[in-house]
């Protein structure tokens, strides 16, 4: 580049670097005036334009540049960003391929072409490029690129079954053609092992692994060691592995749990590896092995003492497996081991989770275990406090249903409160960034009160739980575990705003939004005040969805980078990671929630209908991964009870079935309301109910589902008749050229009028005969009304009430969506739909009056709850926590005020929202 030109181009790059895209465009125009054919400047302008969201202009420029078949590095790089911004990933591939073809000696272009294919997961083409590069440049690195591309192609779901071994064999052949053996570096060695494993050539793999270098690599590379274990297991070399593990445990003091598992597997191999019942001889032999293994583990435990818990845990696992294989010798063995473990590690926080799998004691064993634990309570030092926490948790775990009476649970709750308040003394001087050592007692209080609520159905216990946990949260500001419990309890109590506060304080971000946003966004539409213009939950959905954007822009890039650093062992993980986020269940659940709220928030026009129709159809056929983390919610409920998570879910969590049902509901409704041509023939599948969908729905949602099916079956034929033909739409779209592609119409009413006046409406067949509305439709509203009345007069929780209200409102909105097309008088006249319009009107009046009634009742409830009397009731309900302890009245009153105010806000907001929805669509 000449210096003069460089001087002109420099400011463009500077502007782009500082995101001053407008001035970048100006700078480009300046140069283009003098040199209208400068490809680089055109590419840079296209980049600035795409960043300014000027898609159409950018598209035109990009096509001009591509037509010139650029090979210049600067142009290619700029165009890569442009095309990525435009979502034209396959054009990136084509661009580099064209460039590489023109300059086959250019190694860099080859690399870029390879990466472009890698980014889009086009393994076949990637493999071909890499092979070509290897021939040309004779670098083993390209050979391995081609080998691993073949492996990935074999792994790809889209590759036919029969082709897979062919590809793997090809990869294996290529490995032996390399200049250097695969153990040149650990990642190449890993690729070699992987291929041998997939081809089930275990003996060949073992030869490699037993080689001196192979062993050395496995010592330092965890990924190679992992695949080594896998291969040995598949090879059936469990006993050999066990022997090695024994050496490692005893001589090298290796405390990798996998070594202990290897030895355990080897010990029981003779019984576990066959399905035949074991003979007495085999049993005797295994019993002998058990004794030997026990000695190894005991020795490890003795050597380690307090330094490592693996030995003692392995002993427990050994006894557990012995029992499960029917080789039981002494009934008290597991309990003794557990006691032994507790004596050593009882003052560590991990004790409870470590012991849990081994504690299903009954009868005498349980009695002994209980009395052992009871003798271990003490509260003198922080260490003994932690031990006592473990004691209380472990005792609670083994409570039987006979011991779970309301009286006993209440006594337990009060005891937990007492020890909690006592234990606070150990944390008085801690900075506020530290956790209080006694936190887990407060968590136990929460558990006991939730269990009390489940036993008695009295809401007051949830209020007590909230008050105690709020107290604890104020003392241990960083305890996310306390917040998790509060989030659940506040939802049950109809105070979603408080749940949201706690969620936000947990500072959930990045990939965590995928795994944790379910805490506040599961069925969020039922809490949302979207009809009033409050978009809190809608923006939470958008924010939590950011991670999927960054996944689709970033992750593929790292797959390419892992190729360039030859970290093959990471690539398969990266691909899986990308897929799990891309097809995350939570992602699409949030999408559906967003749509449900949007429909309540915005006018039902063509823009909304067409856009959401396209987007929902796009996700309809995804195979989802459920990445939601429920495990993180603490659970210390007795084993005979459901977990805290299960107990406190307002409704069954929505799963793949739920998603499928709601996608069908909305796609159907949008499709009918839309004028867009049906490109994918989905209709038959949309009306088909599946059992897994029904199983995932709440009772009210099941009614709703039936209602929507009946509605669209009834109204569908009229939509089909009235919908303007595609040719009319095209003419309409051509008339208004300021419209974006994908949104051919501004509003449906305009389209309907337009088609009527343009005379496109002449149809050959007669309009479908007008039928009475199916009984199910008015019945649905009646049913919901009686459900509502029943819940109001009963003791159900606010969350249940709000679910009924939200479902009824949603049904009303769908009705509006399905009938908006038939609103204009011109349509009614033209198609003689007078009777149909009357049916719609009758139904609308009926549904409106029911919604209005619900609104009035809710508003009244809201007023009642936040009065001094309501608060007093709350405080009185929590009297049990005041009787027993130093909780002061004012604190409980404060929590009462917050909770009742939040509930009032929700009730009133939803009541007003209902009225608004009715008004908007009447």
Partner 1 sequence: MFKFNNINLDIWTETYGISFYLTYLSRWPDLCCVQEAPNGHMMGYVIGKAEGHGQDWHGHVTALTVAPEYRRLSLARKMMSLLEMVSDETYKGFFVDLYVRCTNSVAISMYEGLGYSVYRRVREYYGSLGLGRASKDEEDAFDMRKPLSRDPHRRSVRANGREFVVSAHDVS
Binding stretches for partner 1 (CB under 8 A): 186, 220-223, 255, 257, 307-309, 313, 317, 348-350, 353-354, 356-357, 433, 435, 478, 480, 506-512, 514-516, 547, 550-551, 554-555, 558, 561-562, 565, 567, 569-570, 573-574, 577, 580, 627, 629, 631-632
Least distance (Å) from partner 1 to the CB of residue 86?
22
Least distance (Å) from partner 1 to the CB of residue 227?
13
Q: In this complex, which beta carbon is closest to partner 1, that of residue 281 or of residue 353?
A: 353
Q: In this complex, which beta carbon is closest to partner 1, that of residue 255 or of residue 376?
A: 255
Q: In this complex, which beta carbon is closest to partner 1, that of residue 435 or of residue 792?
A: 435
Least distance (Å) from partner 1 to the CB of residue 581?
8
End-to-end CA distance of the chain: 68
Q: In this complex, which beta carbon is closest to partner 1, that of residue 505 or of residue 828?
A: 505
The residue written with tokens 């409406």 in the block is 761
Full DSSP string of 522-547 = TTGGGT--GGGT--HHHHHHHHHHHH
Q: In this complex, which beta carbon is closest to partner 1, that of residue 199 or of residue 632?
A: 632
Q: In this complex, which beta carbon is closest to partner 1, that of residue 420 or of residue 574?
A: 574
384, 347 in Cβ contact below 8 A? yes
d(CA 898, CA 810) in angstroms, rounded, equals 29
Q: In this complex, which beta carbon is closest to partner 1, that of residue 348 or of residue 622?
A: 348
Least distance (Å) from partner 1 to the CB of residue 210?
21
Q: In this complex, which beta carbon is closest to partner 1, that of residue 132 or of residue 561?
A: 561
d(CA 922, CA 915) in angstroms, rounded, equals 10
Residue 621, both tokens: 């056929």
671, 678 in Cβ contact below 8 A? yes
d(CA 285, CA 268) in angstroms, rounded, equals 10
List, in sequence order, every residue forming a beta bridge with 584; answer none if it has no partner. Answer: 625
Q: In this complex, which beta carbon is closest to partner 1, that of residue 614 or of residue 632?
A: 632
Q: In this complex, which beta carbon is closest to partner 1, that of residue 97 or of residue 626?
A: 626
d(CA 301, CA 299) in angstroms, rounded, equals 5
Q: In this complex, which beta carbon is closest to partner 1, that of residue 598 or of residue 624?
A: 624
3-state helix, strand, coil in the chain (%, to 5): 75, 0, 25
461, 420 in Cβ contact below 8 A? no
d(CA 318, CA 314) in angstroms, rounded, equals 6
Least distance (Å) from partner 1 to the CB of residue 567?
5
Sign of the torsion formed by the C-alpha atoms of 118, 119, 120 and 121: positive
Chain-centroid distance, C-alpha 875: 38
CA torsion angle 165 166 170 171 (round to 10): -30
Least distance (Å) from partner 1 to the CB of residue 96?
21
Least distance (Å) from partner 1 to the CB of residue 58?
25
Least distance (Å) from partner 1 to the CB of residue 404?
25
Least distance (Å) from partner 1 to the CB of residue 512?
6
Q: In this complex, which beta carbon is closest to partner 1, that of residue 220 or of residue 786?
A: 220
Which residue, 734, 732, 623, 620, is CA-closest to 678? Answer: 620
Full DSSP string of 837-903 = HHHHHHHHHHHHHHHHHHHHHHHHHHHHHTSHHHHHHHHHHTHHHHHTS---HHHHHHHHHHHHHHH
d(CA 505, CA 906) in angstroms, rounded, equals 21
Residue 529, both tokens: 């005040």
Least distance (Å) from partner 1 to the CB of residue 558?
4
d(CA 785, CA 41) in angstroms, rounded, equals 66
Least distance (Å) from partner 1 to the CB of residue 841?
51
97, 128 in Cβ contact below 8 A? no
Q: In this complex, which beta carbon is closest to partner 1, that of residue 586 or of residue 761?
A: 586
The residue written with tokens 């959401």 in the block is 612
Which residue, 633, 613, 690, 614, is CA-closest to 659? Answer: 690
The residue written with tokens 């980049």 in the block is 47
Least distance (Å) from partner 1 to the CB of residue 886?
27
Q: In this complex, which beta carbon is closest to partner 1, that of residue 37 or of residue 507?
A: 507
CA torsion angle 577 583 585 591 (round to 10): 130
Q: In this complex, which beta carbon is closest to partner 1, that of residue 105 or of residue 220?
A: 220
Full DSSP string of 481-521 = HHHHHHHHHHHHTT-HHHHHHHHHHTT--TTHHHHHTHHHH
Least distance (Å) from partner 1 to the CB of residue 564?
9
d(CA 442, CA 711) in angstroms, rounded, equals 50
Least distance (Å) from partner 1 to the CB of residue 186?
7
Least distance (Å) from partner 1 to the CB of residue 481?
8
Q: In this complex, which beta carbon is closest to partner 1, that of residue 476 or of residue 819?
A: 476
Least distance (Å) from partner 1 to the CB of residue 349?
4
Q: How many of the other CB atoms lie within 10 Å of CB of 59?
A: 16
d(CA 854, CA 857) in angstroms, rounded, equals 5
* 42 half-sphere exposure, CB direction, 13 A CA radius: 19
CA distances from 388 to 296, 349, 438 (A): 31, 11, 10
Q: In this complex, which beta carbon is closest to partner 1, that of residue 431 or of residue 742?
A: 431
Q: How many of the other CB atoms lie within 10 Å of CB of 367?
A: 11
Least distance (Å) from partner 1 to the CB of residue 629?
5
């Amino acid at each position: 580049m000449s210096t003069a030109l460089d001087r002109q181009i420099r400011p463009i790059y500077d502007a782009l670097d500082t995101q001053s895209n407008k001035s970048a465009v100006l700078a480009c125009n300046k140069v283009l005036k003098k040199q209208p054919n400068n490809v680089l400047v055109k590419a840079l302008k296209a980049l600035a334009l795409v960043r300014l969201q000027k898609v159409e202009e950018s598209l035109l420029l990009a096509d001009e540049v591509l037509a010139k078949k650029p090979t210049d590095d600067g142009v290619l790089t700029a165009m890569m960003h442009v095309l990525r911004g435009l979502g034209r990933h396959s054009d990136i591939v084509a661009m580099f391929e064209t460039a590489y073809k023109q300059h086959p000696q250019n190694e860099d272009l080859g690399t870029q072409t390879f990466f472009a294919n890698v980014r889009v997961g086009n393994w076949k083409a990637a493999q071909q490029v890499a092979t070509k590069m290897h021939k040309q440049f004779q670098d083993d690195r390209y050979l391995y690129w081609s080998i691993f591309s073949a492996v990935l192609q074999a792994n790809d779901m889209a590759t036919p079954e029969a082709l897979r071994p062919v590809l793997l064999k090809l990869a294996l052949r290529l490995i032996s053609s390399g200049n250097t053996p695969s153990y040149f570096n650990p990642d190449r060695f890993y690729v070699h092992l992987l291929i041998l494993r997939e081809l089930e050539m275990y003996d060949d793999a073992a030869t490699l692994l037993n080689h001196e270098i192979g062993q050395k690599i496995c010592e330092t590379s965890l990924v190679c060691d992992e695949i080594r274990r896998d291969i040995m297991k598949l090879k059936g070399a469990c006993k050999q592995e066990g022997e090695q593990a024994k050496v490692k445990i005893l001589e090298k003091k290796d405390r990798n749990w996998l070594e202990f598992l290897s030895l355990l597997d080897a010990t029981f191999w003779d019984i576990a590896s066959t399905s035949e019942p074991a003979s007495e001889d085999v049993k005797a032999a295994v019993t002998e092995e058990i004794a030997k293994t026990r000695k190894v583990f005991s020795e490890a435990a003795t050597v380690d003492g307090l330094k490592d818990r693996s030995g003692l845990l392995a002993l427990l696992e050994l006894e557990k497996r012995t029992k499960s294989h029917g080789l039981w010798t002494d009934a008290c063995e597991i309990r003794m081991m557990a006691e032994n473990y507790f004596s050593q590690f009882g003052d560590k926080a991990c004790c409870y989770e470590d012991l849990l799998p081994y504690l299903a004691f009954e009868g005498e064993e349980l009695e002994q275990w209980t009395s052992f634990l009871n003798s271990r309570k003490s509260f003198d030092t922080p260490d003994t406090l932690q031990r006592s926490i473990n004691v209380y948790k472990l005792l609670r775990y083994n409570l039987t249903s006979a011991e779970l009476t309301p009286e006993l649970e209440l006594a337990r709750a009060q005891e937990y409160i007492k020890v909690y308040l006592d234990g606070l003394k150990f944390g008085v001087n801690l900075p506020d960034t530290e956790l209080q050592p006694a936190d887990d007692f407060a968590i136990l209080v929460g558990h006991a009160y939730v269990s009390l609520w489940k036993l008695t159905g009295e809401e007051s216990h949830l209020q007590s739980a909230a008050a105690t946990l709020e107290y604890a949260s104020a003392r241990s500001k960083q305890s996310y575990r306390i917040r998790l419990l509060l989030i659940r309890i506040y939802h049950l109590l109809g105070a979603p705003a408080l749940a949201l506060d706690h969620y936000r304080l947990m500072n959930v971000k990045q990939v965590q939004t995928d795994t944790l946003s379910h805490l506040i966004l599961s069925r969020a539409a039922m809490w949302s005040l979207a009809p009033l213009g409050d978009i809190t939950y809608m923006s939470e959905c958008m924010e939590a969805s950011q991670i999927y954007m960054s996944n689709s822009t970033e992750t593929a890039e790292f797959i390419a980078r892992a190729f360039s650093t030859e970290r093959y062992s990471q690539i398969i993980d990266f691909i899986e990671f990308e897929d799990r986020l891309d097809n995350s269940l939570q992602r699409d659940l949030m999408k559906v929630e967003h749509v449900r709220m949007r429909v309540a928030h915005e006018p039902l026009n063509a823009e909304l209908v067409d856009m959401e129709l396209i987007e929902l159809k796009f996700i309809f056929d995804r195979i989802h991964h459920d990445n939601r983390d429920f495990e993180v919610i603490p659970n210390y409920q007795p084993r005979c009870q459901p977990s805290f998570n299960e107990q406190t879910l307002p409704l069954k969590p929505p799963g793949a079935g739920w998603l499928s049902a709601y996608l069908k509901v909305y796609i159907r409704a949008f499709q009918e309301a839309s004028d867009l041509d049906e490109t994918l023939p989905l209709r038959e599948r949309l009306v088909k109910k599946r059992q897994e969908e029904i199983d995932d729905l709440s009772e009210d949602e099941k009614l709703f589902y039936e209602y929507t099916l009946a509605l669209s079956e009834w109204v569908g034929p009229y939509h089909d008749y009235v919908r303007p033909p595609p040719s009319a739409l095209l003419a309409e779209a051509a008339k208004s050229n300021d419209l974006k592609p994908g949104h051919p119409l501004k509003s449906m009413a305009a389209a309907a009028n337009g088609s009527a006046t343009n005379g496109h409406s002449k149809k050959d067949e007669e309009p479908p005969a007008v039928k009475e509305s199916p009984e199910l439709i008015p019945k649905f509203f009646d049913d919901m009304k009686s459900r509502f009345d029943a819940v109001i007069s009963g003791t159900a929780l606010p969350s249940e009430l709000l679910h009924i209200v939200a479902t009824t409102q949603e049904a009303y909105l769908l009705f509006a969506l399905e009938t908006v097309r038939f609103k204009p008088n011109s349509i009614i006249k033209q198609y003689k739909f007078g009777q149909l319009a009357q049916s719609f009107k009758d139904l609308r009046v009926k549904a409106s009056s029911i919604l209005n009634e619900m609104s009035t009742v809710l508003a009244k409830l809201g007023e009642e709850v936040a009065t001094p009397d309501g608060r007093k009731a709350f405080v009185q309900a929590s009297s049990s926590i005041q009787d027993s302890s130093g909780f002061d009245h004012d604190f409980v009153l404060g929590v009462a005020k917050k909770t009742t105010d939040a509930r009032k806000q929700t009730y009133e907001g939803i009541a007003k929202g209902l009225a608004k929805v009715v008004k908007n669509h009447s």
